[in-house]
């Protein structure tokens, strides 16, 4: 747990970088410090590991006042990742990752085992090959992975990350974010993460601390921040499309119509017609005997002799969703395919649900209802 | 002329070889001292908060380099004599060459140690390295190529200056030149000058190889694979 109490930083020269911040980051929580450049987020982060000395206030890490620990000792217990330039170019990947374990005096065998474990965890395989490489021999994304691995070197309970994915291309960044989320679910570190990118904050954070001019403006979960912005600054920062951003926070699984009604490919056209009439639908999903999703059948195509079965009239599907897909992606797919329905299938392409526009509107409405309810309370 | 030079070389190769060995010994002795002093002083003055001192030291070293070598030998001879040390021969020459060699090594060490990407230093500090650990594990290894370049420059420069040391009895290839001048024997002057030049070029090439080999592998150009 990290606790900041009335933390203030005034730089020599009089610039007030941080102004009375009080913030608690619980064990295993992913806290994003978000804000425009110059808002004091990086200064706040660096005060936690004493790279920047406090002017006033207290910070405790794991219940201990950081001022009472030796700076080097404190820092060795806290993982620290910055943009890729922080890797030591004269050291191999293995030596870079083993930096803190070496400072802590771990034995060689233990260090080596840890390095291998981390390379595997971050997908830098084959491990034997990456061990010996130098930073100059890696791509930007790989260097960033090494940076994260190095921060995790001595298995610290706390990670401080200063825009670690800032200097890489958007596609690699997305992938690294996804992987880091997966890893974080596994290792459950207490993370303080600095970024100016609202999308990154919403995607990664359990909590977001939005800062402006050295002050903490709002500290809330991503959905609270989007649904109940504290003031006009927050509203402006999260953007007018905040409702769309909120979609990202919900997965398809949460709102989909699971076990949707479908017709089998060996059903007759007449049976399909009856089902459509009963359900008042103009399209129905078609599945095979084994539950595999095959495509759609529409009202126009079920007119025909009763001897013909649905399987002969299938309209192939254009898009498929998966249960773990965030709603913003699902919406994009639906707009793209123009069917108004998104079939959701599992890994074996078995139909497990349907998302319709109606369902989406309902979930959006929920966000607004929440917001209105929230505005009534203090 | 060429034929007299060649004749001299073939008949006196042993003598020329001995002079070359003396020359190399003087240069290496002086630059060995210069490296030790230059590194120690360079690292000392490149610490944070000593920017003023660094400027002063580099300034003084720069001025030393502008003192003509003969004058410096003269000054050193007087000083050494006052101290009761050997005032002619190899000692004043080695001391003078050490002073000359100091500047390139000092300058390169200080610039390189101070010029490391601050983000890298902060990464080291943020992971819990002490300032001393940052110096030895990050700053110095990263400065090695620049330090080696400075050493190479110092050695090549000193090969030339060492020739003048023969004037005060330090021996070396300068002896051929001075004897040539005294006896109006242009062939001797040319043989001496040629040997000095060849020695400088040879050492420059050899040190270039050493410089490349001493560069940490991750810093060498063309490792990106």
A245 shares its domain with A263? no
Best of B127, B134, B148, B222 to disrupt the A interface by mutation (most A CBs within 10 Å)?
A: B127
Q: What pLDDT score does B225 carry?
A: 37
A261 shares its domain with A242? no
Supply the range of the domain harboring residue A347: 253-362
Q: What pLDDT score does A80 carry?
A: 94
Q: Which CATH number fits the domain that encloses residue A52? A: 3.40.50.300
Report DSSP state, residue B129: -
Facing residue for A137 by CB, picked from B120, B129, B225: B225
pLDDT in tens, A273-285: 888 888 888 888 8
CB neighbours of residue A106 within 10 Å: 17
B120 part of contact set with chain A, CB < 8 Å: yes
Does residue A375 form part of some domain?
no
ipTM of predicted assembly, 2 dp:
0.74
Confidence class for position A375, pLDDT limits 50, 70, 90: very low
pLDDT in tens, B20-32: 999 999 999 999 9
A228 shares its domain with A357? no
A33 shares its domain with A56? yes
Does residue A71 form part of some domain?
yes
A54 shares its domain with A148? yes
Nearest to B103 by CA among B55, B65, B131: B65
- Would you say A247 and A239 are in contact if contact means Cβ atoms under 8 Å apart? no
H helices of chain A, in order, are: 41-48, 71-76, 93-97, 99-103, 108-121, 127-131, 140-151, 170-187, 198-204, 222-227, 232-238, 242-247, 252-255, 269-279, 327-337, 357-376
- Would you say A81 and A151 are in contact if contact means Cβ atoms under 8 Å apart? yes
How close is the nearest chain A Cα to the Cα of B208, in Å? 19
CB neighbours of residue A289 within 10 Å: 8
Residue, of A48 and B184, whose pLDDT is higher: A48
Residue, of A72 and B2, whose pLDDT is higher: A72
A242 shares its domain with A294? no
Q: Which residues of B touch A88 (CB under 8 A)?
A: 120, 123-124, 137-138
In the predicted model, is pLDDT for residue B224 greater than 70?
Answer: no
Distances in Å between the alpha carbon of A23 and those of A2, A17, A211, A373, B64? 8, 16, 11, 25, 58
Length of chain B: 225
Average pLDDT along chain A: 87
Does residue A189 form part of some domain?
yes
Q: Would you identify the CATH topology of the domain B2-217?
A: MetI-like fold (1.10.3720)
Nearest to B159 by CA among B43, B22, B35: B22
Q: Report the DSSP pairing between strands A351-356 and A257-258.
A: antiparallel
Region A215-234 average pLDDT: 90
Please state, in angstroms and rounded to a whole number, the distance separating the CA atoms of residues A348 and A46. Answer: 47
Q: Which residues of A touch B (CB under 8 A)?
A: 46, 49, 51, 71-77, 80, 82-83, 85-92, 99-100, 103, 134-137, 150, 153, 160
A185 shares its domain with A84? yes
CB neighbours of residue A366 within 10 Å: 14
Does residue A304 form part of some domain?
yes
Please state, in angstroms and rounded to a whole number, the distance separating the CA atoms of residues A179 and A159. Answer: 16
Using the 3D structure, point to which of A224, A249, A274 is the last residue of a domain: A249
Work out the angle at residue A242's Cα, subtended by the Cα atoms of residues A240 and A245, and round it to the nearest 5 degrees. 135
Using the 3D structure, point to which of A197, A224, A249 is the last residue of a domain: A249
Q: What pLDDT score does A46 carry?
A: 95
Question: What are the backbone angles phi and psi of residue B27, rounded to the nearest 5°?
Answer: -65, -45
Q: What pLDDT score does A369 carry?
A: 62
Q: Do A72 and B218 touch (CB under 8 A)?
A: no
In the predicted model, is pLDDT for residue B222 greater than 80?
Answer: no
Q: What pLDDT score does B169 carry?
A: 83
pLDDT in tens, A333-372: 888 776 678 889 888 888 888 888 888 888 777 766 655 5
Q: Do A90 and B219 touch (CB under 8 A)?
A: yes
pLDDT in tens, A247-280: 877 888 888 888 778 888 888 888 888 888 888 8
Q: How many domains does chain A have?
A: 2
Q: Which residue ranges make up each domain of chain B?
A: 2-217
Return the CA Rg of chain A.
26
Please state, in angstroms and rounded to a whole number, the distance separating the CA atoms of residues B146 and B106. Answer: 10
A176 shares its domain with A111? yes
Does residue A373 form part of some domain?
no
């Amino acid at each position: 747990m990290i606790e900041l109490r009335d933390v203030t930083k005034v730089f020599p020269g009089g610039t007030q970088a941080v102004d009375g911040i009080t913030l608690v980051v619980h064990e295993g929580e992913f806290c994003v410090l978000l804000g425009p450049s110059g808002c004091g987020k990086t200064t706040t982060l660096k005060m936690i590991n004493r790279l920047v000395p406090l002017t006033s206030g207290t910070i405790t890490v794991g219940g201990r006042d950081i001022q009472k620990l030796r700076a080097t000792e404190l820092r060795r217990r806290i993982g620290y990742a910055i943009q890729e330039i922080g890797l030591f170019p004269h050291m191999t990947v293995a030596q870079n990752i083993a930096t803190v374990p070496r400072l802590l005096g771990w034995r060689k065998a233990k260090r080596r085992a840890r390095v291998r474990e981390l390379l595997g965890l971050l997908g830098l395989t084959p491990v034997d090959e990456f061990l010996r490489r130098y930073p100059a021999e890696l791509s930007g994304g790989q260097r960033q992975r090494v940076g994260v691995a190095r921060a995790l070197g001595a298995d610290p309970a706390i990670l401080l990350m200063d825009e670690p994915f800032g200097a890489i291309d958007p596609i690699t960044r997305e992938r690294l974010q996804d992987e880091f989320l997966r890893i974080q679910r596994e290792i459950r570190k207490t993370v303080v993460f600095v970024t100016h990118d609202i999308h990154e904050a919403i995607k990664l954070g359990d909590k977001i601390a939005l800062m402006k001019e050295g002050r903490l403006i709002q500290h809330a979960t991503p959905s609270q921040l989007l649904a109940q912005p504290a003031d006009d600054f927050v509203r402006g920062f999260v953007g007018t499309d905040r409702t769309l951003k909120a979609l990202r926070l919900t997965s398809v699984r949460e709102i989909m119509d699971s076990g949707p009604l479908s017709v089998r490919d060996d059903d007759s056209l007449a049976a399909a017609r009856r089902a459509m009439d009963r359900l008042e639908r103009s399209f129905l999903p078609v599945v095979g005997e084994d539950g595999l999703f095959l495509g759609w059948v529409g009202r126009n195509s079920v007119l025909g002799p009763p001897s013909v079965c649905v399987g002969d009239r299938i309209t192939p599907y254009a898009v498929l969703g998966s249960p773990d897909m965030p709603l913003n992606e699902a919406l994009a797919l639906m707009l793209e395919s123009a069917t108004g329905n998104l079939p959701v299938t599992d890994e074996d392409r078995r139909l497990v649900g349907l998302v319709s526009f109606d369902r989406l509107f309902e979930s959006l409405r929920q966000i607004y209802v929440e917001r209105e309810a929230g505005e009534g309370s203090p | 002329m060429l034929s007299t030079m060649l004749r001299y070389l073939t008949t006196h190769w042993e003598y020329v070889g001995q002079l070359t060995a003396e020359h190399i010994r003087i240069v290496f002795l002086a630059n060995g001292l210069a490296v030790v002093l230059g590194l120690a002083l360079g690292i000392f003055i490149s610490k944070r908060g000593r920017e003023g001192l660094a400027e002063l030291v580099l300034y003084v070293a720069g001025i030393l380099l502008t003192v003509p070598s003969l004058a410096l030998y003269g000054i050193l001879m007087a000083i050494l004599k006052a101290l009761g040390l050997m005032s002619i021969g190899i000692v004043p020459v080695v001391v003078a060459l050490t002073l000359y060699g100091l500047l390139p090594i000092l300058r390169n060490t200080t610039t390189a140690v101070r010029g490391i990407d601050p983000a890298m230093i902060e990464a080291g500090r943020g992971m819990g390295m002490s300032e001393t650990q940052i110096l030895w594990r990050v700053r110095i290894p990263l400065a090695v190529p620049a330090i080696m370049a400075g050493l190479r420059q110092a050695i090549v420069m000193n090969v030339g200056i060492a020739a003048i040391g023969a004037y005060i009895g330090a021996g070396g290839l300068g002896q051929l030149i001075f004897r040539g001048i005294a006896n109006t024997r242009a062939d001797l002057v040319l043989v001496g000058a040629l040997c000095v030049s060849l020695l400088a070029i040879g050492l420059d090439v050899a040190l270039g190889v050493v410089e490349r080999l001493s560069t940490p592998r991750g810093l060498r150009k063309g490792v990106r694979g």
